[in-house]
């Protein structure tokens, strides 16, 4: 049993993860989060919100998970959001064609379907399920299609990412932030991708949670005002050059920008922020790297793009965050399809005198000629050069239709005017987090099995196996366990009072009075509870309790008075356990 199987077995047994639709046999690509899993996931999301919304000031929005077709035409998802699929001619099972050959060639995901077919044939790649012959590869669009409204309705899709809602809301967001760059918006929610063959547990899902920020910045100024926060942060960089060498380079983010390894400060800052967040929730620093997209995999709209990758036991390096400079591609694409200018007005510090070529269509004559299309015709005329406007009849294209305009109703000239500002289309920096992959990685990095003395349960010193999830204290789905030594009223009453005090402090508390105290300690170790508080008969005498530390299994005796503040300080303020009370 490898670590993945151990983690998933624990996750299912203790209520972190369950296969969806289990009652009906289940289906691949869907998981339910149980009581502990849902809480752990919410803690990760809440720390993400603290990082991006509270500290960075990028307010959160919530857009529909269903989008109309035009949105995804503009984003490119309708025309180009697909994976290469091939099916077994014998058993009919479907597979990602590039995944079948990723151990044979480098960058299999960059090959065209014809190139994939060639590699499959030349290497006699067979069906992994039945060894049957594979059919030709073809592009399979990954979006879930739906109809909005009754009958045929309006064509819609389940969103494949949360980002588009923030692009569509750009003008509203710009007004909210008083059109001052940089500004950003965040969104945490469900996305949907009809994956061809999701066989990697929560690493590849058909319904998953994304946490994304879209940060709109000045295209001419990509320095970050707070870059000093991370300038000396050392990260594991797997740049394009390092990938050719086969080595991971350790360097500071300041050095990476200075050398040109990372395109600019704003992108480097986001890498630093991602590094900080992932380590804060429990990802091991030595199992985290940032891999730069190579030129043949870089999206056509990106200047630079880095993936945060986490090392896992079964799946090797797994991408969990994508951090990209998307330039102005998205805003221009939505502007073109919606026919709405998506820019902000930036005022100069001092007005400038500028010579401009000005086109002035006579709207009084255009209106009767073209009626409802008059404005669109005028806008098209304003994009033409002087040579094109000097024709007796001017031809422009409006809504795909050629329109002829008499040259004598269009005036043009060069004019010197005072300009107080300009319209700017911002560039977008996007950190995109896959919460489900981060959830699993957090569990795997926290998972440990060790041999310890069995003395906590009995007087027996014989070693036994202990499974422990060493979650960071602020992430743990249960932060404190309340354990009355026996199920007797005189112990239950003070235990319940302590439970109430801790809950009022905002801590995640469980109450457990079933089984021996040693068994209860082990149960809480398994789910990652940092501290257990035991109420015994000495409590009735001296008003003190035993606090046990999950990681060291050490115990101290501390007074009940101020117990909620004490535990809160140990979880959130770094108070040392050794100083929490008298060692036992």
**Rounded to an integer, what distance in angstroms lies between the CA atom of residue 485 and that of residue 513?**
7
Give the 3-state DSSP-derived string for 15-84, with helices as H, strands as E and coil as C: CCEEECCHHHCCCCCCEEECHHHHHHHHHHHHHHHHHHHHHCCCEECCCCCEEEHHHHHHHCHHHHCEEE
Q: Return the sign of the alpha-carbon dihedral for residues 521, 526, 527, 531.
A: positive
Order the strands of the 544-549 sheet from edge to edge.
509-511, 480-484, 531-535, 544-549, 555-559, 582-583
The C-alpha atoms of residue 236 and residue 289 are separated, in whole angstroms, by 5
Contacts 24+ apart (CB under 8 A), 72-80: 72/143, 72/157, 72/160, 72/164, 73/337, 74/333, 74/334, 74/336, 74/337, 74/338, 75/164, 75/167, 75/330, 75/333, 75/334, 76/333, 77/143, 77/157, 77/160, 78/141, 78/143, 78/157
Q: Does the annotation flag 209 for ligand binding?
A: yes
Determine if residue 13 is labeled as part of a ligand binding site: no
pLDDT, residue 392, reads: 87
C-alpha to C-alpha distances, 387 to 390, 402, 403, 412, nearest whole angstrom: 5, 18, 18, 11
Say whether 113 counts as a known binding-site residue.
no
pLDDT, tens digit (0-9, with 9 covering 90-100), for 210-261: 999 999 999 999 999 999 999 999 999 999 999 999 999 999 999 999 999 9
Q: So what's the pLDDT on residue 390? A: 87
| Per-residue pLDDT at 152 | 76
pLDDT of residue 95: 92
Q: Is the distance from CB of 68 to CB of 155 less than 8 angstroms?
A: yes
**Is 492 assigned a ligand-binding role in the annotation?**
no
Q: pLDDT, tens digit, for every residue of 121-147?
A: 999 999 999 999 999 999 999 999 999
Q: Is residue 316 a known part of a binding site?
A: no
**One-character DSSP codes across 290-359:** EEEPPTTTS-TT-SEEEEEEEEETTTEEEEEEEEEE-TTHHHHHHHHHHT----EEEEEEEEEEEEEEEE
pLDDT score for 496: 97
Is 430 one of the annotated binding-site residues?
Answer: yes
- Separation CA 189–CA 195 (nearest Å): 18
Going from the N-terminus, what domains does the chain have, and what CATH number goes with each? 83-140 (3.30.40.230), 350-422 (3.30.720.200), 478-583 (3.40.50.800)
Strand-pairing partners, residue 307, are 291, 322
Q: Is the dihedral of CA 539, 541, 544, 546 positive or negative?
A: negative
User: Is 195 assigned to a binding site?
Assistant: yes
Q: What is the DSSP letter of 219?
A: T
467 is in an annotated binding site: no
Is 211 annotated as belonging to a binding site?
A: yes
* Angstrom distance (rounded) from CA 143 to CA 72: 10
Q: Are 558 and 574 in contact (CB under 8 A)?
A: no
Contacts of 260 (CB under 8 A, 6+ apart): none
The answer to the question of whether 569 is labelled as a binding residue is no
Is 437 annotated to bind ligand?
yes
Asked if residue 127 lies in contact with residue 90, where contact means CB atoms within 8 angstroms, the answer is yes
Q: What is the pLDDT of residue 460?
A: 62
What's the pLDDT at 458? 59
Residue 467: predicted pLDDT? 96
Low-confidence ranges of the chain (pLDDT < 70): 454-455, 457-461
Contact between residue 307 and residue 319 where contact means Cβ atoms under 8 Å apart: yes
Annotation-wise, does 212 bind a ligand? yes
Distance CA 555, CA 582 (A): 8
Tell me if 207 is assigned to a ligand binding site. Answer: yes
Q: Is 139 annotated as a binding residue?
A: no
* 483 annotated as belonging to a binding site for a ligand: no
Is residue 297 annotated as involved in ligand binding? Answer: no
* Closest alpha carbon to 53 in 305, 321, 277, 344: 277
Q: Is 205 labelled a binding residue?
A: yes
Q: How many CB atoms lie within 10 A of CB 266?
A: 22
- DSSP H helices, 189-290, are 240-245, 253-259, 265-280
Buried b (16+ CB within 10 A) or exposed e, 442-457: bbbbbbeeeeeebebb
pLDDT at 548: 98
Q: Please indicate if the annotation marks 73 as binding a ligand.
A: no
Q: Interior CA angle at 488 toward 483 and 492, to 5°?
A: 50
Yes or no: say if 331 and 423 are a contact pair by the CB < 8 Å rule: no
Helix, strand, coil content of the chain in percent (nearest 5): 35, 30, 35
Q: What is the β-pairing status of strands 59-60 and 145-148?
A: unpaired
- The C-alpha atoms of residue 537 and residue 539 are separated, in whole angstroms, by 5
Q: Do the annotations mark residue 583 as ligand-binding?
A: no
Quote the CA–CA distance of 389 and 412 in Å, as a whole number: 8
Q: 3-state secondary structure string, 355-403?
A: EEEEEEECHHHHHHHHHHHHHHHHHHHCCCCHHHHCCCEEEEEECCEEE
> How far is it, in rounded angstroms, from Cα 573 to Cα 186?
27
Is 414 labeled as ligand-binding? no
Residue 105 assigned to a binding site: no
Going by C-beta distance under 8 Å and a sequence separation of 6 or more, which residues neighbour residue 581? 544, 547, 556, 557, 558, 559
Q: For 280, left (φ over 0), alpha (ψ -120 to 50), or beta?
A: alpha
pLDDT the model gives residue 459: 58
110 annotated as ligand-binding = no
> Is there a binding annotation on residue 194?
yes
435 among annotated binding-site residues: yes
Q: Does the annotation list 319 as a binding residue?
A: yes
């Amino acid at each position: 049993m490898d670590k993945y199987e151990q983690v998933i077995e624990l996750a299912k047994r203790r209520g972190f993860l369950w296969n969806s639709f289990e009652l009906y046999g289940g289906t691949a690509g869907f998981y339910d989060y149980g009581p502990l899993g849902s809480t752990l996931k919410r803690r990760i999301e809440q720390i993400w919100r603290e990082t991006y919304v509270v500290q960075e000031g990028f307010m959160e929005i919530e857009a529909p998970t269903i989008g109309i077709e035009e949105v995804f035409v503009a984003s490119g998802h309708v025309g180009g959001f697909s994976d290469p699929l091939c099916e077994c001619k014998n058993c009919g099972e479907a597979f990602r064609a590039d995944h079948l050959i990723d151990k044979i060639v480098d960058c299999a995901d960059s090959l065209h379907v014809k190139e994939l077919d060639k590699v499959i044939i030349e290497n006699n790649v067979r069906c992994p399920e039945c060894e049957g012959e594979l059919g030709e590869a073809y592009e399979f669009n990954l979006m879930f299609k739906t109809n909005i409204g009754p009958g045929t309705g309006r064509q819609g899709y389940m969103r494949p990412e949360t980002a588009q809602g923030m692009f569509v809301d750009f003008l509203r967001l710009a007004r909210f932030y008083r059109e001052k760059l940089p500004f950003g918006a965040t969104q945490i929610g469900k996305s949907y991708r009809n994956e061809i063959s999701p066989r990697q547990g929560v690493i590849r899902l058909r319904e998953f949670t994304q946490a994304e920020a879209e940060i709109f910045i000045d295209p001419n100024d990509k320095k970050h005002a707070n870059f000093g926060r991370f300038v000396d942060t050392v990260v594991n960089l797997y740049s394009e050059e390092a990938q050719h060498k086969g080595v991971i380079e350790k360097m500071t983010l300041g050095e990476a920008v200075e050398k040109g390894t990372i395109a600019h400060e704003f992108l480097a800052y986001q890498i630093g922020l991602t590094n900080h967040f992932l380590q804060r929730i429990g990802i091991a620093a030595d199992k985290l790297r940032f891999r730069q997209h190579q030129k043949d995999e870089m999206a056509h709209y990106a200047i630079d793009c880095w993936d945060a990758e986490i090392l896992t036991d079964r799946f090797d390096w797994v991408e969990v965050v994508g951090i990209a400079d998307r330039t102005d591609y998205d805003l221009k694409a939505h502007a073109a399809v919606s026919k709405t200018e998506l820019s902000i007005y930036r005022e100069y510090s001092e007005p400038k005198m500028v010579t401009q070529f000005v086109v002035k269509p006579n709207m009084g004559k255009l209106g009767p000629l073209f009626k409802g299309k008059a404005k669109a015709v005028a806008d098209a005329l304003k994009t033409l050069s002087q040579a094109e406007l000097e024709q007796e009849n001017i031809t422009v294209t409006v809504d795909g239709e050629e329109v002829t305009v008499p040259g004598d109703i269009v005036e043009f000239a060069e004019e010197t005017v005072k300009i107080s500002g300009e319209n700017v289309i911002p560039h977008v920096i996007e950190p995109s987090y896959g919460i489900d992959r981060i959830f699993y990685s957090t569990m795997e990095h926290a998972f440990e099995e060790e041999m310890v003395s069995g003395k906590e349960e009995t007087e027996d010193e014989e070693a036994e196996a202990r499974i422990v999830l060493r979650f960071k204290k602020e992430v743990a789905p249960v932060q404190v366990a309340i354990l009355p030594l026996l199920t007797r009223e005189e112990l239950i009453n003070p235990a319940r009072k302590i439970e109430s005090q801790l809950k009022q402090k905002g801590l995640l508390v469980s109450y457990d009075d079933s089984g021996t105290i040693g068994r209860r300690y082990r149960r809480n170790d398994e789910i990652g509870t940092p501290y257990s508080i035991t109420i015994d008969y000495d409590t009735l005498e001296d008003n003190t309790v035993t606090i046990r530390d999950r990681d060291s299994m050490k115990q101290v005796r501390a007074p009940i008075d101020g117990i909620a503040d004490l535990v809160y300080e140990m979880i959130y303020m770094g108070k040392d356990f050794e100083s929490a009370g008298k060692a036992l």
